[in-house]
């Protein structure tokens, strides 16, 4: 192999000097955003990523998001979909105020994001395509209310989100319920947001939870949602149970009254003497004796006759009847009669 000519050495030397003077491309470029991820929850569509490093460049790093459908080119996100250009945050939330905004729920959508700093741009970080109805995470039904009835429970709730076309993309609901300590049962699928659980045992506590299921008929896709929290409620008694309760309460009350009455009679008969002793009026000292005890200096006879009334001891007729002392001896009673006698005469006759 012949040695290189002097001209070749000159060209090679100039190339090496140019390569040494030019900085590497990576030094002037930004790092691409890391771990881009699309979050689909109910009607929400949110793209997020981790920030990229600005390297030796100074200034705020901005982000740009683009999208495309299956057969279209990449485009910046339009204001109708959301403000996703010149972003200072690492998140782009697509508008979902109503079904006419945001990406169509049945379209194939691809997203990509890059960082921008002045004249520098990073490489694109792409998110795999998605279809909302296929990939969405369905949350539990909301605003659940349980109303107890006669051996039944009525559950009302609201849909986790509006699919926009209940004919092609209906939401079905399943109610899982069980009596405490019993086996779990399932009611569903139903399309109504009001479910009746009947043929339940009265006066029993039942617990339940609800979940939704999306069915996309065009693609034959079934997407099962998350369970709601557990709710427990007690069923009320039906008419027959209430009648039985009334009869039992009446019979029990009557039996209790009989027992109490019999017990009272038994106690009265057994402790009759003690009861009489308790309720016997204690003896009282006559008022004349009380007066005498208050003033012992006064003669006792005067105290006794103090409140006496002459009319109380006066009488019109006095009869004395004697029986014969000896058998066969007749004895005629003697009668004294006196009208208008004085108290002294009456007292002498009595003596």
Any domain includes 199 = yes
Residue 58 has pLDDT above 90, yes or no: no
Q: Mean pLDDT over residues 49-57, rounded? A: 76
Domain of residue 196, CATH code: 2.60.40.10
Q: Is residue 148 part of a domain?
A: yes
Q: What is the DSSP letter of 94?
A: P
In a domain, 179, yes or no: yes
pLDDT at 204: 92
Please tell me whether residues 77 and 119 are part of one structural domain.
yes
Question: Are 150 and 213 in the same domain?
Answer: yes
Q: Are residues 183 and 263 in the same domain?
A: no
Of residues 89 and 12, the one with the higher pLDDT is: 89
What is the reported pLDDT for 313? 53
Q: Is the pLDDT of residue 334 over 70?
A: no
Please state which of the ranges 22-26, 35-39, 80-84, 334-338 shows the lowest mean pLDDT.
Answer: 22-26
- Pair 155, 217 in one domain: yes
pLDDT score recorded for residue 120: 87
Encode 128-184 in three state secondary structure. EEECHHHHCECCCCEEEEEEEEECEEEEEEECCCCCCCCCCCCEEEEEEEEECCCCC
Q: What is the pLDDT of residues 286-308, one digit of tens each?
A: 776 776 666 666 665 565 555 55
pTM, two decimals, is: 0.61
pLDDT-derived band at 23 (thresholds 50, 70, 90) equals very low
209, 127: one domain: no
Same domain, 118 and 173: no
Q: How many domains does the chain have?
A: 3
Considering only 66-80, 162-176, 207-221, 248-262, which range has the smallest mean pLDDT?
248-262
**Residue 310 pLDDT > 60, yes or no?**
no
Q: Please indicate, yes or no, if residue 105 is contained in any of the structural domains.
A: yes
Q: How far apart are CA 193 and CA 157, in angstroms?
A: 6
Q: Are residues 122 and 146 in the same domain?
A: no
Over range 86-97, report the average pLDDT: 85
End residue of a domain, out of 134, 151, 167: 134
- What CA–CA distance (Å, rounded) separates 256 from 258? 5
Residue 166 in any domain: the answer is yes
Average pLDDT over residues 147-167: 92
181 and 103 housed in the same domain: no
Cβ-proximal residues to 34 (8 Å cutoff; 6+ apart), any chain = 49, 50, 51, 52, 125
Asked if 69 and 108 count as a contact pair (C-beta separation under 8 A), the reply is yes
Whether residue 334 is contained in a domain is answered as no
In this structure, the answer to whether residues 226 and 249 fall within a common structural domain is no
Task: Kindly report which listed range (18-22, 44-48, 329-333) carries the lowest average pLDDT score.
Answer: 18-22
Residue 251 structural domain: 242-272
Asked whether the predicted pLDDT for residue 343 surpasses 80, the reply is no
Write out the DSSP string of 39-69: EEETTEEEEEEEPPP-TT--S--EEEEEEE-
Asked if residue 302 belongs to a domain, the reply is: no
The reply to whether 121 and 180 lie within a common domain is: no
- Residue that terminates a domain, selected from 134, 160, 178: 134
The pLDDT confidence band at residue 11, using thresholds 50, 70 and 90, is: very low
Same domain, residue pair 230 and 246: no
Chosen domain end from 93, 110, 134: 134
Q: Is residue 335 part of a domain?
A: no
Are 148 and 224 found together in one domain? yes
């Amino acid at each position: 192999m012949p040695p290189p000519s002097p001209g070749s050495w000159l060209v090679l030397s100039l190339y090496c000097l140019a390569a040494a003077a030019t900085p590497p491309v990576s030094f002037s470029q930004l790092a691409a955003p890391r771990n881009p991820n699309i979050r689909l929850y109910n009607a929400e569509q949110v793209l997020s990523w981790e920030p990229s490093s600005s390297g030796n460049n100074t200034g705020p790093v901005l982000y740009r998001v683009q999208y495309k459908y299956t057969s279209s080119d990449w485009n910046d996100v339009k204001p109708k979909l959301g403000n996703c250009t010149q972003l200072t945050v690492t998140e782009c939330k697509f508008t979902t105020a109503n079904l006419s905004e945001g990406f169509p729920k049945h379209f194939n959508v691809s997203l990509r994001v890059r960082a921008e700093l002045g004249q520098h741009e990073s490489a694109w970080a792409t998110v795999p395509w998605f279809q909302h109805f296929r990939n969405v995470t369905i949350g539990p039904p909301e605003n659940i209310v349980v109303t107890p009835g006669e051996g039944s429970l009525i559950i009302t709730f609201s849909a986790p989100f509006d699919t926009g076309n209940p004919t092609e993309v209906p939401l079905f609901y399943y109610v899982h319920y069980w009596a405490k300590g019993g086996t779990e049962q399932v009611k569903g699928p139903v399309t109504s947001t009001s479910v009746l659980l009947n043929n339940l045992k009265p006066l029993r506590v039942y617990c339940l939870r609800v979940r939704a299921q999306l069915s996309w008929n065009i693609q034959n896709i079934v997407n099962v949602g998350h369970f709601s929290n557990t709710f427990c409620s007690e069923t009320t008694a039906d008419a027959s149970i209430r009648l039985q309760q009334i009869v039992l309460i009446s019979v029990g009350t009557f039996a209790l009254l009989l027992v109490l009455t019999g017990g009272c009679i038994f106690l009265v008969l057994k402790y009759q003497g003690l009861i009489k002793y308790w309720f016997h009026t204690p003896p009282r000292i006559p008022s004349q004796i009380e007066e005498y005890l208050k003033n012992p200096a006064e003669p006792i006879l005067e105290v006794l006759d103090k409140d006496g009334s002459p009319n109380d001891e006066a009488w019109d007729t006095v009869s004395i009847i004697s029986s014969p002392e000896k058998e066969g001896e007749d004895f005629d009673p003697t009668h004294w009669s006196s009208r208008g006698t004085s108290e002294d005469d009456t007292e002498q006759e009595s003596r």
